[in-house]
Amino acid sequence: MDLLNTLVDKGLRRELPTREEALAVLATSDDDLLDVVAAAGKVRRHWFGRRVKLNYLVNLKSGLCPEDCSYCSQRLGSTTGILKYTWLKPDEASQAAAAGLAGGAKRVCLVASGRGPTDRDVDRVAGTIKAIKEQNEGVEVCACLGLLSDGQAERLREAGADAYNHNLNTSEATYGEITSTHTYADRVDTVNKAHAAGLSACSGLIAGMGESDEDLVDVVYSLRELDPDSVPVNFLIPVEGTPLAKEWNLTPQRCLRILAMVRFVCPDVEVRIAGGREVHLRTMQPLALHLANSIFLGDYLTTEGQAGKADLEMIADAGFEVEGADQVTLPEHRVDRVGGGCGSHETAGCGSHESAGCGSHEGGGVCGTAAAAAAAVPGNEPRTDLVAVRRRGAGTDLAPNA
């Protein structure tokens, strides 16, 4: 297929595809799907080999959020029965992080619900970063705390944070349909603040919220322009008690096309499969490793993920290897670029949304009805059996899934 040959050539040169080419990837047929995966896989292997980076989420503060993001189980007015607790103490957060690191994760993503941190909150997180780094040599830490005020990114960097996550989630044109309490521009501003402070910027999207192909291409092109080191791709988890609980718009095949499009547009960045992979990719998760070079290990913020042991087995069975703490994630030109992130730190951000921020969401998106979803994706039945509220790990007395 001429399209795929062109996209591979452009990906190897870091050349931006045309919008028409990106849209064409999303429009390919199921008969061509394996060819699409193979082509995007060539680009992935060129820049990242067969390594898979593991990341681990710690939900520092669950629920209690004043924002109204339609995808989020922690939103204002949510009736989802999630865990709700205020800030974990530094030693509690460090203990939670240790479980993920023992399972093979090299990055810990510290997430807190809310519009954005107060200066006192930044002090709390600074203490947590210090505790984690003192007890786990070589660990990378990404913070995901919502909208940042002036000077806060610099303070997080001084405290030892390596990266900051804040997702765009969807296109600017449709952003007002999912959130009314902050704007798309607010999110862009926070990503720019992270960049300016020398943090490795992480910003991604949520697919499956009823958006069009044009919306998906718009947000990915906006991300390319922002130039984060990491792009988490979330697939909406339709959680009961949120406005988007009836949105079941995704098939495994569409998820793979979306990941391939992201890889072609952002060839040399860390593409992370974030929230929703177990719900929507299901048994086709191993194929997605040919497109993305990063995943979360274990559970997400408020929902359960695949067992950590199963994640590791999947990676090995698919012929990939877990990236070691001594391995550099990003290509050399991204590590060394001036003003491009962490300096001596090589990888990038989080990826678990839920509040104003991180990269592995738990819900997410632009409105639509169950009938419209069924019409758009014939045969894609809701899999509510795959959505389980997290009842273990941080904020509980039970061992985490890692």
The annotated binding site for [2Fe-2S] cluster is made up of: 109, 142, 202, 272
Task: Report yes or no: 91 and 131 within 8 Å, Cβ to Cβ.
Answer: yes
Write down the catalytic residue from 65, 144, 255, 350.
65
- Binding site residue list for [4Fe-4S] cluster: 65, 69, 72
**C-alpha angle 293-297-302 in degrees, rounded to nearest 5:** 120
Three-class DSSP category at 156: helix
- Annotation says 144 is catalytic: no
CB contact set of 132 (below 8 Å; sequence gap of 6+): 90, 93, 94, 97, 108, 139, 141
Write down the catalytic residue from 142, 144, 266, 358.
142
- Annotation says 65 is catalytic: yes
- Annotation says 69 is catalytic: yes
CB contact set of 175 (below 8 Å; sequence gap of 6+): 169, 183, 184
Write down the catalytic residue from 107, 187, 257, 272.
272
Instruction: Determine phi and psi for 105, rounding to 5 degrees.
Output: -70, 145
- Annotation says 109 is catalytic: yes
Three-class DSSP category at 110: strand
Task: Report yes or no: 250 and 380 within 8 Å, Cβ to Cβ.
Answer: yes
- Binding site residue list: 65, 69, 72, 109, 142, 202, 272
- Annotation says 255 is catalytic: no
Closest by CA to 290, choosing from 23, 48, 32, is: 48
Q: What percent of the residues of the chain are helix, what percent strand, and what percent coil, each to the nearest 5?
A: 40, 15, 45
DSSP tag of 275: T
User: Rounded to an integer, what distance in angstroms lies between the CA atom of residue 245 and that of residue 78?
Assistant: 11
- Annotation says 266 is catalytic: no
Q: How far apart are the first and last CA of the chain?
A: 41
Three-class DSSP category at 163: strand
Burial grade of 288 (CB within 10 A; 0-12, 13-18, 19 or more):
buried
Write down the catalytic residue from 72, 266, 342, 350.
72
User: Rounded to an integer, what distance in angstroms lies between the CA atom of residue 122 and that of residue 227?
Assistant: 25
Write down the catalytic residue from 44, 144, 187, 202.
202
Amino acid code (one letter) for 362: E
CB contact set of 125 (below 8 Å; sequence gap of 6+): 60, 110, 112, 117, 143, 145, 156, 159, 161
- Annotation says 72 is catalytic: yes
Give Cα separations from 104 to 81, 204, 320 (angstroms). 30, 23, 14
Residue in the block written with tokens 């919502």: 146
Write down the catalytic residue from 109, 144, 342, 350.
109
Residue in the block written with tokens 């703490």: 325
Active-site residue list: 65, 69, 72, 109, 142, 202, 272
